[in-house]
A and B are shown apart, each in its own frame.
Chain A
Amino acid sequence: MPDGLPTVVTIRCVVEESPTVSTIFFDTVFSSKPGQFVMVWVPGIDEIPMALSYPDAITVQRVGDATTHLASMKPGDKLGIRGPFGNGFSISGKTLAIAGGVGAAPLLRVALEFPDVDFLIGARNEDELLFFRILRERCSVRVATDDGSAGFHGFVAGLLKEMPVEKYDTIVVCGPEQMMRSVLKELEFQNSVHNAQFSLHRYMKCGIGLCGSCCFDPDGACVCRDGPVFSGEYLLQSELGKYHRNASGIKEF
């Protein structure tokens, strides 16, 4: 086993992506696949799992202590990084990326690193749309907002109803749990579940498949090690969108 103490990185710059989301760039590039994640140590606060939105950056939505602290950090501040961990996406052929909210973070790299990608982004409103300008330069982008302030008025799963999903070889999805459940249902309806991969989020402590905090029903897969990317077929009979376990291991519905 190599010595796995956290790699200490210095923050190079912080880019505001939306009123609640920022991207934090490091001075270190992590050799990784899109969809892999790192454990980010905010010294004195906590350590949290975050997708790499670029090989040298994470994109953070302020939701709790650690993320709020992270978002307030400045160039020159230091973080500890363990990883990259997890399996990442397996991309081939014509690809559709479906993002909801900050779920766009692990999918951005799919558009930046693969040649034939179409993108769907969903957000609460126009201000919360992530990476729209960068993506528009690279690929075809369609937008859905909950309030109709930009693009399709409604959820991304609704937008999907109008799409010829069967023409894609790979469909990659990341977003809030209920959004992913709706997308999974829609893809099942359109007979395209077998091409789909979803990146999941669960409470994690170890990141290496030992502690069991992120175990996923029905078969006890470790989201950190066996995932975080799982096939649509696998997820059909899973806990996705039904419940998850909190830090104590208690189910929350």
Chain B
Amino acid sequence: MITLKKSPVRIGEVSVRNHLILAAGVLGTCASSLLRMLQSGAGAVVTKSIGPEPRPGHAGPCLVVLEDGILNAMGLPNPSARFSDELEKLSNEPVIVSIFGGNPDQFAEVAGWFANQAQAYELNVSCPHASGYGAQIGTNPDIVKACTEAVKSQGKPVWVKLTPNVTDITAIGQAAEDGGADALVAINTVKAMRISTPLKRPVLGNKFGGLSGKAIFPVAVRCVYELYDACSIPIVGCGGVSSAEDVIEMMMAGAQGVEIGSALYSNPDLFQNICRDLYSEEGYHWKEIVGCAHA
């Protein structure tokens, strides 16, 4: 298998400890669980998405495990400004704060709460199941550009996480780049549904949700590949990554690093396991791998 040489990693203006980052929405509401992920080998962590008001999230069921993936509609539960109490315990750690809002002003307001605590922001313009937020604004290039500009004014690196639920993801990627984004994260979950046939109703409390896990890996690789051709800022690959082999494939498509979430379900020690497989003394320099499948 192709391996990488261990070296200092900097992705989208953020210094991270390795190429593997905890994805937003997974074990990201408490300082203690975020620290646990860093201790178990994550190179950086992205928090739960924080928004302008506290939200309890959707009624359940909020998640079902499928054969090849996970379907969820959490509904952006978050403690809003109070999250700053948790972040206090994470100073000097590589923490990227995921934020959402319904318009550029709200994005800027939320970002401002964590100005002294975040290493960077990740803009959630891609959650497929929350009314007025996420993908509902992230499918419009003009709004994505305006939200990116609004947060960029805080003077911190800004990553923009994109939804795959669009005809052309590169148009949204380019809008984020035009707004000053330092990196693109691709992709958020794929809008999806399952129905309980005995109960004759959708399984999720919110009816619609987002699909993650292995099932969407090919979609994520395709999106990263397209964005690499269309944009010039770094890309972080996200969607179904569960092995070192997947990391290399994402990097060949054009990603400088990856985010991992759903795969932690099968293996809570995944970060250290992938690190063990991914890095070796004889490995390639990451620059030789990133985007090499575009030859």
Listed in ascending order, the chain A residues whose CB lies under 8 Å from chain B are: 1-6, 8, 39, 41, 43-48, 78, 80, 82, 205-213, 215-220, 222, 225, 245-251
Contact = CB atoms under 8 A, between A and B. Distances in A.
A218 B25 CA distance: 20
Contact of A217 (B32, B54, B74, B80): B32
Interface of A is mostly: loop
Contacts of B28: 212
B104 interface: no
A6 B265 contact: no
Given A39-B60, A210-B26, A205 B32 contact: no
A78 B194 CA distance: 18
A45 B67 CA distance: 26
Interface string B35-61: 110000000000010000011110111
B29 A1 contact: no
Interface of B: 25-36, 48, 54-57, 59-70, 72, 74, 77-80, 82-83, 85, 194, 196, 198-199, 201, 203, 205, 213, 261-262, 264-266, 268
12 contacts: A2-B65, A3-B65, A5-B64, A41-B61, A82-B61, A205-B57, A212-B28, A212-B29, A220-B27, A220-B30, A248-B56, A248-B77
B199 A43 contact: yes
A31 B36 CA distance: 31
A169 to B, nearest CB: 30
Contacts of A78: 198-199
A5 B67 CA distance: 10
Nearest to A2: B67
A246 B25 CA distance: 16
Contacts of A46: 59-60, 205
B264 to A, nearest CB: 7
Contacts of A218: 32
A2 B79 CA distance: 33
A99 to B, nearest CB: 27
Contact of B199 (A80, A220, A225, A249): A80
B61 A211 contact: no
Question: Max chain B CB contacts within 10 Å: which of A1, A3, A44?
Answer: A1
A250 B54 contact: yes
Contacts of A250: 54, 79, 82
Question: Max chain A CB contacts within 10 Å: which of B48, B198, B266?
Answer: B198
A155 to B, nearest CB: 30
B65 to A, nearest CB: 4
Contact of A219 (B25, B32, B196): B32
